[in-house]
Each structure stands twice: as structure tokens, then as C-alpha cells.
Structure 1
């Protein structure tokens, strides 16, 4: 089992995360052989801040890795995308998620490991921070941030793997073999406790040079979402109303829907009024194939993977003003089902590129991906002017949303049971922003709106599972009911532990 133990822990040279703007990189500066052992650290505020940076760092894996990026993995497992790529063996962890041949032996183990590394770093901070001599208010904020981060990591773990260990303190080497899984309900209770503890001491807003750090609004939005997944709808509605305010207006936290849907995907609009929790990526780490995923992977790698293969504009395409997309690796091929659902929707043009139509018109050329449909995802698409780093493939400074206001509008409408004037107003506000008229509010209408509004942002698989739609919607991919609602725990985690594998994945 690879849950990191207390005595083995260290903070390594090059731990880097963008807590501020995309141009602000924070590194832990250490001397000698490049490591500082944990027992010799956390002596002052500077070191505590470096520990906070390390706790945030694993959030960046969301779109900052390849087959282990949750954004790519969850999209591949949904009904909106095929994994794509060059062939059936390209990034195999994404392929097995896409076709539901996933097993404990072929799931990318780093998905589980990255989240638990994040948990571990939070646990160390929670244990060490009280003894650090520093300003009391700043200490309280740091503690609130790491508790909210721990909640974030556990929320994804319990949603993806269901039966997970609930570890709240750094483990000794001797304690690791005795780790057991907790009941999902107990994990949810701890997540809710951490967020409730955190909210009071988080700031309402942060200055520009701290953009990306958790705020009171972000933790409140996450708590509302957690309550909804925990089937505490009344509690969810209360928290989400705080975040949302008057539908279509500006909330007490300062959130407001962006004026146009397209403006959300202008990559210069970082930390905009609709952004509640956003991950900043950097083009400054200069990661390359020799040091990738060893503390230098701070760019948006998913942007490269999702680009069309061998994309090129013809003279006609240039004259027509088609985007100058990078030559990508062809992952996240859009299913025809999603393309058809969005075809007449105003959000289509900012979500999907109809490559086959443009190729037939002689405006572009590109190479088919595996399971090619002719439709490609473009919300986070990189263009050639985004190439600024030494190694552009690993260093795109394109941020991604974890939670944005349209998401919380629809979550609150759902928490309200899909009925009533406020639920109607929340749904109407999301539709009105893109020029669509009102439709009668209902749970089905809300679910349909979530698919169109949030396509490709990593929510769809979770939505299908929690609403009981997964078996029907994912049957064409090979989804097996009462099994694939959770992913298998990686086989490598069972060495010298007492954990049990999730139902349906037992290997003889």
C-alpha cells in the first residue's frame, strides 16, 4: 500500500504550485541534498507556507497529467467522450475507462496515489501548524485552507472509489498494514466537518497575487455540493443559496455569471466573476520528458492531449478565421450523442469543433483519432500563440474550473427538488445567459442543462452515477450496473494491508 507514512515523509526540492496568478510560482527552497525531512521542518511561518504550497500542489493533477488526470479520466468514462488518441493502446488508462474494461491491474495507480499524497500533506500541516510561531490570524487561515483541501481530496476519492480509508493523521510505518476502509457515510461526515470548520477563517476575497487560494465562497460551494451528494438536500440548498444569491445578479461573495458563455473560454479571463474554484497552470516550470511528474509538471497537459492530431488550416481556413489550434494528440473525441444534443444549442460553438465539416469544406486537414467522430472538445483548446515555454507540450498556462457559478446554480435548483420559483429562476438564468428561453423546471430539465452547460468539465460521470442514470446512459460503452458505479482500487494498494476490493472487481 502506498499511503505515505509519517517517518518516511519529506518535502522535496521543487515542490511548486501556483497559489497566486499564473505568473507566480512558489517553490520550497532547501539546501544540501535537496530534501528536508518533515521532522525538521515547520519551524516558522516561511516553512509553514511552503507546507501549504505542497498541500495545494496535488490539486493541479486535475488537468496537469496524462492518463492520471481526473479531467481526462472522468471525461473518458462518460457518455460524452471517447478516450481517442492515436490507437486503442494510446494512454491505456484512458482507454480502459472509456470502454469499461477497467480492472485493479490496469487502472492508473497514480490517480489514487495523487489524492492520498494530497491528504497526507494536509494531515502533516494540520498536525504541525499549531506549534508554528506565526501570526494567529494567518495560522487560522492556513489551517482552514488545508482542512478544505483535505475535504476536496476526500470528496473526489469517495466519489471515484467509494470504499476508501479515512486517514486523518500522518501514519507511522507500523500503522500502515492495519489501515481499513471507512464507510462512505463516515467519509462524507468528515468532509462536511472539515469544510464547516474551514469556512469561518477563510477570506471572502483574495488579492490578485493570491488567486487560486481557497476562499469562503469556494468552501461554501464545495460544502453545498458535498451535502447534495450526501443526499442532504435541504442543507445543500442553504449553502448553495449563499453562494448564488439572486439568480442572474451578483452574490454576497461577488460571484456573477459572465455576460457571454464564450467569454468563459477566453483563456485570458482567469479568475473571472463566475469562477468559484479554479486551478491555475503555469508555463514557467519548463517541465520536459526527463522530469515530468516529479515536481515540475505545473502546466495544463490536458490542453495538449485534447488537441486534434495533425491539425492544419488551409488558406481557405485562414481566410475564414478558423482557430490556429496546436497540433495535438487527439484525445477526448466527442461522442455523436453529445454533439447532436448540442448541435442547435448556442453553446456548441464554444464547446465542440466540427472538424469533419471543416475538412469537407476544404478549410482544414487533420488525422483521425481512435474512435473518431469528427467532433472535438475545445473549451480548453490551445492555439499556437499559447506556446511560450521551452517545452510547450507540458507547459500550457491554461486554467481549468473546478466549480463555477452556473454549476452551483444548477446544483441548488436540484437541491430544491427541481420545483418552485427559485429553482425555475436558477435554471432560467443559466439558459438566458446563452439566449435560450425558459423551460418548465424539473429534475430532468436540470440534468439536461448540466450536460449542455458543463460538457467536458469533469462533472458528467459523477452526475450520471449519483442520479442513477449511469447504467442506461453508459450501456453502449459496456458499463455494468452494481459494479462500475465505483472504480477499482489499484492492485498495488493491497500489498500488506487489510483493505477489500470494490464489488465486482475481485481478481482470482
Structure 2
């Protein structure tokens, strides 16, 4: 899908219906056009297998950058998650951009980024709902393809709800196309019901998905992606705030299923650097956002968001490559200090010095993980490297976490040591205590997934975000403290006004 599935798609606009709960999304355009826009209606479009395939492309495309709006990688994983954690330090505020408010826990229901999260997820859900409502009436050459498309749409819809749940808690559950009048009458759904819906949807999707795809369709959801996502969702639900202990065994089963497929369906990359090269897209990650450079509006915005403005003498210089100046939004010293001497991941993940526009060295802490030296871009939203939503290393470390929690620390150590040894670090002792292993694993997850939007959600499900963030704020003499109420974002003001939802505490 990296090369062919998104490559030749053109603009198709307003094919999905947006209710009042999605009111700000009515002008969005997606990449599904097969005939002139003014000739396309919902009735005429969703009538052939090809059109369903094109519409499904639009569901995937909903995760991708739309110019300065960003994409799921920028909005859900960078701003809403990574910037929220103590991996970032927002030092100065640039205009009306929201990274500073999010990092300092000053965001409100009127913060634009909060609105974007809500809109982007429901945009994807709306696209998926439309396909699922119409797919049975469309003739297919074979039923297996129909079930594959249905399964992909169900997975993606459930995944979008999971991101909404992690960021907003209770949200309206809309599983079919609705009218504006219906939309405003749908209340927020309790968390347990949402978890039941999301997990049952992905569980049901597994049978229709393929283990692998040909080169033309690389990037589609696989069985391994479904199992890995279920492992993440169940493990998340076993922690704060749901604390459903029955989910642990389910997480273990799905994670182990993925691990059993190593060498056949999933691949452990030989080096850490191999994970973040566009040449290796769809090779090592289990589920990733597809990016293509070249002015096709499918590139990534993320590398520009997290890098300073380099001078022409710097090896990472790109004329279109940076959004911020140095010292606006930077990697925290806390994260830098967390790396052990000799950790090979550090040089792949971040830098602390660059050549400025005046040709002189400048010092700032910034991520480089998704920035490719020598890339030629049409604009700053055009980076080619795919973004990993979930990768195999996460499965391995989640599985190790479950093993340790059930008392199998020795087996868990072997899993974690695979990650450490690839990073050039000495292995942990097989005789390490369960408590010390927990500490080591939490540190390992922070380092392994730095810059990928994983750590904040880890802190929340472990229910240690309050202590970690408050300590970080105190160390930096920042005048704020947080409570568990700050684990969730405020419901966007526009949705409160339109639908009358109760606000998060």
C-alpha cells in the first residue's frame, strides 16, 4: 500500500455524511475520486467492489496528514501523547500553537488540538460506518474479498474509538450512519461498554484479515495487527482507570499469537536504525501510517514539528524541513539522562546540537527519529517515513510485562533482553526480582519508544503519571501539579454546545 495503494488516488470530497457530533468536519476532502465531484453522491458511489475498495482507501487516508492539520501521528501520538509526557519540555510558546498548553497542562475545552483529536477520529469512524452500512448490497467477485474489506473497516473503526477512549474517556458510540438529529441525541457511552465494543469488533475482524499481502497491498491490516492491537487494548483496559483484571489473560494470548508468527508474519529488525528508514516501510512494523513524499498530500508532518531550523551546513538540513526554532519544543533532559552509556538507540532517536543558519553550532535537544538526511521535500508536510502505530518490539515488551506480573520473571527477562542486546546494552540478570524487573521494563519502554507517543499512555495505565509528571514539574520549577483528572482531555467546547455532553472533571 505504501507504493501502490495510495499512490494514484485523487481527490474525492464529501462522500461521507457527518452528523452534528462531527459538525466541524463537513468540509473535509478525502482521496477517493473516480468521477467529477459534482456527480458523486452517496447513492451513486458505493455501488461496486472497486468503489468500496476506493472508499476503504479513504478510511486509511483519514490517518494521514492533510497539510498543516497534521495526521494521527502528529495529533494523537506527538501532541496529545508524547508532548504530554515528561519526554518533552516546552520552553517557549510559538504563536497560538497548542504544544505549550498541552505540555504544561494548560489546555482547555477550547484548545484547538483537542477539537482536532475529536474530529479526526470521528472522521475515520464516519467513513468506516458508511462502508459497513453499504458493503452487503454491493456485488463482489468473491465473498473473501468482501469479508476482508469489512474486517479492515471494522478494525480501523475500533482503533479510532480506542484512541478516543484513551484521550477523552467516555465518548458517543456511533456504529452506523446517522442524521444530525440522531447524532446530537447519542450520549457518551461508558468505558466498559466501549471496551466491549472495540475488542469484540477487532476479535470479529481477525477471521477476514490476511496474514500477509502482496507488494501492491502492503500496509493493509493483517491478522498480526489485529492480535497486536488487541494485546494493547486488553493490557490498557487491565490498568487504570478500568482496572479489569480479566483482560490480562486475553492480552497475553493475543500477544503470544503475534510472537509465534515471528519469522513468518512478523520480523524483528536486526538494528534499531533499520526501523526508521523509508526503505524499510511495511517491513518491520505491525501497523503503521503510510506516508509518501512528492507533493501527493500523503507525507508526514511530524519530523518538521520536532526539529529546529537547520543551517545549510548541517547534515539534516532541508529547505522545507523545520517548523520551529531551537528551544521551543525540545526533548527533556530527563529523557536524555535516562539513556545508559553505549545505548545505540540514542543517536537514532535524538540530537543535542545542530549547525544553525549562521553556520555556527547551536545547542538544543530534539528528536531526529523520523527525519531522513538527504530527503527532498516539496513542503514541510512531505516526509516519507511511515509512522509505527504499533510495532513488534511493543508486543515483545508488553508480553514480558504480563509474564512478570504473573510471576514468570525469568521468562520475561529473556524477552526484554532481546531489546537491550540489540541496543548494545548488557542483558539483565535472570535472577532479577519482579519489582526490579518492573522498574527496568518501564525504563526500557520509555527509551525504546521515545518520540512515538507510547510513554504517556503507559504512565496512565500504570497510574503513575501523577507522581512522574509532578516530580518532573517540580524539578524544573514549573508552577503546576496534576491529578488523575488530567489523564483525560476536556470534551471539545463545540461538542458541549452542540450535543450538551457532560464535561470531564
Q: Under a length normalisation based on structure 2, what TM-score does the superposition of the two structures give?
A: 0.83
* Post-superposition offset of 1:63: 10
Which residue in 1 is equivalent to 2:503? Answer: 501
Task: Report the equivalent of 1:371.
Answer: none
Match of 2:8 in 1: none
Task: Quote the residue 2:439 is aligned against.
Answer: 444
Matched ranges for 1:484-499 at <5 A: 484-499=486-501
TM-aligned CA deviation for residue 69 of structure 1: 2.0
Is structure 2 residue 244 aligned with structure 1 residue 244? no
| 3-state SS of 2:172 partner | coil
Query: Which residue is 1:468 aligned to?
Result: 463
Q: Distance in 1 between matches of 2:486 and 2:498?
A: 26
Question: Cα distance, 1:422 vs. partner?
Answer: 2.6
Change (3 A) 1:409 1:65: farther
Distance 1:64 1:411, change over 3 A: farther
Which secondary structure does the structure 2 equivalent of 1:139 belong to?
A: helix
- Between the aligned partners of 1:78 and 1:32, the Cα distance in structure 2 is 43
Residue equivalent to 1:188: 195
Q: How many residues are aligned here?
A: 455
Q: Which residue does the alignment assign to 1:340? A: 337
Question: Which residue matches 1:5?
Answer: 19
Does the CA-based 8 Å contact 1:179-1:499 persist in structure 2? no
Q: CA deviation at 1:426?
A: 1.0
Q: Quick check: 1:3–1:116 contact (8 Å CA) kept in 2?
A: no
More divergent stretch after superposition (253-262 vs 225-234): 253-262
* Gap change, CA 1:151 and 1:340, over 3 Å in 2: same
What's the CA shift string for 1:182-241, capped at 9, x where partnerless? 111111110100111100110000111111110110011001111111111111011001
8 Å CA contact 1:71–1:457 kept in 2: the answer is: yes
Distance in structure 2 (CA, Å) of the matches to 1:458 and 1:446: 17
In structure 2, the CA distance between the partners of 1:479 and 1:141, relative to structure 1 (3 Å rule), is farther
Structure with the larger helix share: 2
2:224 pairs with one of 198, 212, 217: 217
Question: Deviations 1:242-271 (Å, cap 9, x if unpaired)?
Answer: 1123xxxx6265212111112222332211
Mark the CA change 1:244 to 1:65 in structure 2 (over 3 Å): closer, same or farther.
farther
* Cross-structure match for 1:381: 371
Partner of 1:56: 60
Residue 77 of structure 2: which of 61, 68, 71 is its match? 71
SS at match of 1:474: helix
Kindly provide the CA deviation profile for residues 143-179 of structure 1, in whole angstroms up to 9, marking residues without a partner as x: 0000000111011000011111111111112212211
Does the residue aligned with 2:210 lie in a helix, a strand or coil? coil
Post-superposition offset of 1:309? 1.8
Is the 2:21–2:499 Cα contact (8 Å) retained in structure 1? no
1:240-319 equivalences in 2 (<5 Å) = 240-245=255-260, 251=262, 253-272=264-283, 274-286=284-296, 297-313=297-313
Are 1:281 and 1:399, in contact at CA under 8 Å, matched by a contact in 2?
yes
Alignment of 1:134-145 (within 5 A): 134=140, 135-145=142-152
Residues 4 and 13 of structure 1, relative CA distance in 2, 3 Å threshold: closer
- 1:92 Cα offset (Å): 2.2
Q: Judging changes above 3 Å, is the alpha-carbon distance between structure 1 residues 465 and 8 closer, same or farther for their aligned structure 2 residues?
A: closer
CA distance change for structure 1 residues 425 and 448 in 2, over 3 Å: closer, same or farther? same
Q: d(CA) in 1 for partners of 2:66 and 2:415? A: 28
Note if contact 1:410-1:450 (Cα within 8 Å) is conserved in structure 2.
yes
1:350 aligned residue (344, 348, 351)? 348
Aligned to 1:234: 249
CA contact (8 A) 2:76 2:163 kept: no
RMSD of aligned C-alpha atoms?
Answer: 2.8
Find the residue that maps to 1:59 and give its secondary structure: coil
Of residues 141-150 and 425-434 in structure 1, the stretch that sits farther from structure 2 once superposed is: 425-434
- Alignment gaps of 5+ in structure 1: 17-26, 287-296, 315-321, 369-373, 504-508
